Chains A and B, each alone.
Chain A
Amino acid sequence: MADRRYVAPFAPQGATPIDGETAARVLRIALEQGGDYADLFFEYNVSGSYSLEDRILRSAGRSVSMGLGVRVMKGDATGYAYVQELTPEQMAHAARTAAQIAAGGKPHAPVEVKPRELPMRYAFASPSLEASGEHKRELLMRADAAARAADPRIVRVEASLSEELREILIATSDGKLVHDRQPLIRFSVVARAEQGDKRQSGSSGGGGRLGLEYFETKTPEYHAQQAVRHALAMLDARESPAGELPVVLAPGESGILLHEAVGHGLEADFNRKGTSNYTGQIGQRVASELCTVVDDATLHASRGSINVDDEGNLPTSMTLIERGVLTDYMHDRHSAEHFKRAPSGNGRRESFAAHPLPRMTNTLLLAGPHDPEEILRSVDYGIYACKFGGGQVDIGNGDFVFSLTESYLIENGKITAPLKGVNLIGNGPEVMRRVSMLGHDLGVSDGIWMCGKDGQSVPVGVGCPTIKIEAMTIGGTQAGKN
């Protein structure tokens, strides 16, 4: 392994490691005003980006950010403060600021913190940050060359690689001390096609919690060809119908539907507050019997996988919906306390500058009994959706949208004409009840999704098999025709 240039100073191998004793000292200050609980979140994040355009590596960048976030809880109230300098004075300052939430209570001492062993769900064979820049540039040039060679209608190509190494150390007043290094890469290709006065773009990308070994299974050429295929298909796109139609969703990326339709509504903070449309529905039927939904942090090297959450708890694979019946919510420490249960390891935060919230990791709809071909054959007239731009949900009533960037008409059981980009809109519980067929072809997204909540972004994974939804509203422009 190459010499590691980027090591968190607070890490066990760092220049000024934070040990149990130092952490306890800061935690004691945090609890001085009578807080029930406190934790320290140290983070050192190094990220890099390389972008190729007009056949040249136009720019390369690197960012380093480091800090400590101190959280103090008293009942349902949270005090949070962070500092960027990890001197004893600054750490004490953050602890004193956060402690004020509990002003007036009796101080109590933290439990002695002990290091905790973690599982390993990331791949470190070939860490991206430590690889040579020339090698990364070559990966981008290969994508560019492959896309241009694929078809003369491709007039522009953009390719980018982003890499990140997030090193965290968490110490809690109930005795946990954990350290984790979380790698992440994302590769992306955009191809722009022109034919006459028609212009379209196509994209492809992927990555995960691994290094450059990613390219052994998905080559730059693969993503280039996918982007080209997408762009060329869209050149012939026609106006999409508007109104309610049957929808078949392709395996893998379509998991974004689950993420929006049910995932957010099952994050326990909304249920603690009673503001989700899934509040109080544990044990009730919330989806078709075909549907079993899990949040699985353990998938090897997937974008949403984590060894430990940002509160020091250990996530596993949890079943949220089993054969249509709601079984569980995703918890952080705060919601778990409220529901008097153990945290599920879903407490995540964007960075040291933000407090944890219940968040998804990899959210999957598990495989069903049907042959994907049979599912298509069952549709006379409908939409086949395979690439998505993103989605959003209104937690209170369950209405959600997601946008299609590649979709086709289904006519008489066959995929026919490509359609212009549209939004699909539906209501989470209603759409989940309308799942009438489910393929046996579970696929997991190739590492592209970022999830936003309360202004905080975290990487997530999604997955599903081929799904048939009896009817969903298609936001096309062709009204009154179907």
Chain B
Amino acid sequence: MRYDIDGLIELGQRVVDAALAKGATVAEAITSEGAHLSAKVRLGEPELVEEAGSKSLGLRVMRDQRVAVTSTSDLSPAGLARAVEDALELASLSQPDPFAGPPDPSLLSKRSQHVDLDLFDERVDAIDAAAALDMAKRAEKAALSSDKRLSNSEGATVSRQSGASALVTSGGFQGGTRGTSVSLYVQPVAEDEGGKRRTGYHWTANRHFSELEAPEAVGEEAARRTLAKLGSRKLDTQRLAVVFDPDVARSIIGTLAGCISGGAVWRRATYLAEREGTPVASELVTIVDDPLMPRAWGSRSFDGEGLLARRNVLVEKGVLKQLLLDTYSARKLKRESTANASRGGSAGVGPSSSNLYLVPGTLSDEELLKSTDRALYVTDMMGYGFNPVTGDFSRGASGFLIEKGERVFPVSEVTVSLNFDKLLKGIDAISSKLDMRTSTAAPMFRVAEMTIAGS
């Protein structure tokens, strides 16, 4: 599909002009269109093919620092007029917020400054239902044919998305971007003792088709991960080192990002509210947010308010150097925006990370595990147990017990707990292998000691 960024910009400009004409002092429109296809195969047969396209408008207006947001999927002249009218009516209901306002126009980037980050792949955009079903079938077959204990399946799914969006603001900003994404997810099921079933998974995803793992390789890895869980048991309650697999390590880094987001800091809703310039993690820890990585998930050449995107070092050798700020939270905290504004389809604006990663260490995954005397190696976490105000952290976990560098047996139905401040300071080894399969990513790392609750 051809995405007409100029057309989206033109639509956004029309809406901004209409809002200004109706009395808005500030108007910002985000317009987007996209298409998606999803194909799922289960036990070799097609189970679901879903296909659609969509368009939407999000509008934020201010009237004397009174803020309102509206969004609509109805882009008819009447639908657009309703979105503008509603926004102005709601703005008169809001109360003046002295910190509300767009960025200084001198900070806005120009279209000519926006670099092409290679986020769109024609080949992904062109995947049709037959091709998607074929990939899913091959991956599931590779998983199920590798071992007869893999008797069932939650299926294999291929999804592709493509789309474009544009931002236009009354401060004079115009910018647009387009991108694709494709993923393959395989989830085999193995019978275990006591009527229990063990479900494992593996997946590959990228913006570019040529960078996907082969479907067969994804299926085989999903099979290995599922079989490895057979015979899982609880551990006794104890204190133990914990190794976080990259799939769960990234959620730890994502949780940290939430705690240094400007919104949480000005609300004092984070245990890191007054910790800039102080150690918040072990000296091994450096965390970077880099929106300018070519082909990466979270890449953007401008932020949700039109500021030129830039690389930020958030934590350097354990010291908190930088918060994630948009214009509003920066004003609240008497700082400058870090160009981390993100604007959702429903037009609300807030700070968020782009490509956020824990900088790799020096050990390989194997060396890290080999150097571990006794630990719980966590491959999956469940539930939500985190209180950002106090840093209390407690999650359900499963994985493997490691003794003298070797996997001893699979573990499930335990929790791992520790205050988050101690957890980050307890990181004593980081692997060198970083996979940017997701916009928040981390290599495998180890925490010296956490509480494992079990039997």
Residues of A near any B CB (own CB < 8 A): 50, 53-54, 56-67, 75-85, 94, 97, 100-101, 133-134, 137, 155-156, 158, 192, 194, 199-201, 242-244, 273-277, 353, 355, 389-392, 394-403, 405, 420-423, 425-427, 473-480
Closest to B67 in A: A59
A83 to B73, CA, bound (A): 10
Let me know if A80 and B396 touch, CB within 8 A: no
Residues of B within 8 A of A97 (CB): 51-52
Closest to B87 in A: A62
Chain A CB within 8 A of B448 CB: no
Let me know if A473 and B454 touch, CB within 8 A: yes
A156 to B153, CA, bound (A): 49
Interface residues of B in 370-425 (CB under 8 A from A): 382-387, 389-390, 392, 394-396, 398, 412-419
A210 to B295, CA, bound (A): 47
Let me know if B73 and A397 touch, CB within 8 A: no
Closest to A478 in B: B451
Q: Which one of B54, B129, B152 lies within 8 Å of A353 (CB-CB)?
A: B54
A392 to B382, CA, bound (A): 6
Beta-carbon contacts of B350-386 to A below 8 Å, as 1s and 0s? 0000000000000000000000000000000011111
List 13 additional A-B contacts (Cβ < 8 Å) besides A401-B415, A420-B392: A60-B93, A78-B47, A84-B74, A100-B129, A242-B415, A277-B196, A396-B199, A403-B383, A403-B385, A422-B385, A423-B396, A425-B383, A425-B413
Smallest beta-carbon distance A265→chain B, Å: 11
Chain A CB within 8 A of B227 CB: no
Asked, given contacts A277-B197, A425-B414, A476-B417, whether A401 binds B396 with beta carbons under 8 Å apart, the answer is yes
Chain A CB within 8 A of B192 CB: yes
14 A-B pairs, CB-CB below 8 angstroms? Answer: A59-B69, A60-B69, A64-B70, A67-B73, A78-B47, A80-B48, A97-B52, A100-B49, A277-B196, A392-B382, A397-B198, A423-B396, A427-B413, A477-B451
Let me know if B389 and A200 touch, CB within 8 A: yes
Residues of A within 8 A of B192 (CB): 397
Smallest beta-carbon distance B363→chain A, Å: 28
Asked, given contacts A61-B68, A425-B414, A474-B453, whether A80 binds B50 with beta carbons under 8 Å apart, the answer is yes
Smallest beta-carbon distance B99→chain A, Å: 9
Let me know if B86 and A62 touch, CB within 8 A: yes
Q: Which one of A64, A402, A422, A423 lies within 8 Å of B73 (CB-CB)?
A: A64
Chain A CB within 8 A of B251 CB: no
Closest to B454 in A: A473
Q: Which one of A77, A353, A477 lies within 8 Å of B45 (CB-CB)?
A: A77
Smallest beta-carbon distance A280→chain B, Å: 9
Let me know if B415 and A473 touch, CB within 8 A: yes
Smallest beta-carbon distance A103→chain B, Å: 10
Asked, given contacts A242-B237, A242-B417, A401-B382, whether A59 binds B269 with beta carbons under 8 Å apart, the answer is no
Residues of B within 8 A of A427 (CB): 413
Residues of A within 8 A of B267 (CB): 53, 156, 158, 192
Let me know if A423 and B415 touch, CB within 8 A: yes
A397 to B54, CA, bound (A): 38
Let me know if B96 and A389 touch, CB within 8 A: no
A389 to B53, CA, bound (A): 35
A218 to B118, CA, bound (A): 53
Chain A CB within 8 A of B438 CB: no
Let me know if A475 and B396 touch, CB within 8 A: yes
Chain A CB within 8 A of B6 CB: no
Chain A CB within 8 A of B336 CB: no
Residues of A within 8 A of B268 (CB): 155-156, 192, 194, 199
Let me know if A389 and B384 touch, CB within 8 A: yes
A223 to B395, CA, bound (A): 28
Residues of A within 8 A of B67 (CB): 58-60
Residues of A within 8 A of B73 (CB): 64-67, 84
A79 to B452, CA, bound (A): 45
Let me know if B348 and A61 touch, CB within 8 A: yes
Let me know if B239 and A479 touch, CB within 8 A: yes
Residues of A within 8 A of B452 (CB): 242, 479
Asked, given contacts A396-B197, A425-B415, A479-B237, whether A58 binds B94 with beta carbons under 8 Å apart, the answer is yes
Chain A CB within 8 A of B7 CB: no
Let me know if B96 and A56 touch, CB within 8 A: yes
A83 to B238, CA, bound (A): 54
Closest to A53 in B: B267
Chain A CB within 8 A of B455 CB: yes
Let me know if A396 and B198 touch, CB within 8 A: yes
Let me know if A58 and B97 touch, CB within 8 A: yes
A421 to B395, CA, bound (A): 11
Smallest beta-carbon distance A168→chain B, Å: 15
Smallest beta-carbon distance A11→chain B, Å: 15
Smallest beta-carbon distance A102→chain B, Å: 10
Let me know if A243 and B49 touch, CB within 8 A: no
Residues of A within 8 A of B281 (CB): none
A473 to B454, CA, bound (A): 6
Let me know if B152 and A275 touch, CB within 8 A: yes
Give the top 6 A-B pairs by smallest Cβ distance, nearest first.
A475-B415, A396-B197, A401-B383, A401-B396, A243-B237, A242-B453
Let me know if B453 and A243 touch, CB within 8 A: yes
Residues of A within 8 A of B239 (CB): 479-480
Residue from A61, A67, A243, A392 with most neighbouring chain B CB atoms (10 Å): A61
Closest to A155 in B: B268
Chain A CB within 8 A of B158 CB: no
Closest to A200 in B: B389
Interface residues of B in 189-209 (CB under 8 A from A): 189, 192, 195-199
Residue from A58, A59, A392 with most neighbouring chain B CB atoms (10 Å): A59
A85 to B49, CA, bound (A): 21
Let me know if B70 and A274 touch, CB within 8 A: no
Smallest beta-carbon distance A216→chain B, Å: 23
Chain A CB within 8 A of B72 CB: yes
Smallest beta-carbon distance A407→chain B, Å: 11
Smallest beta-carbon distance B24→chain A, Å: 14
Closest to B345 in A: A63
Beta-carbon contacts of B425-455 to A below 8 Å, as 1s and 0s? 0000000000000000000000000011111
A385 to B97, CA, bound (A): 39
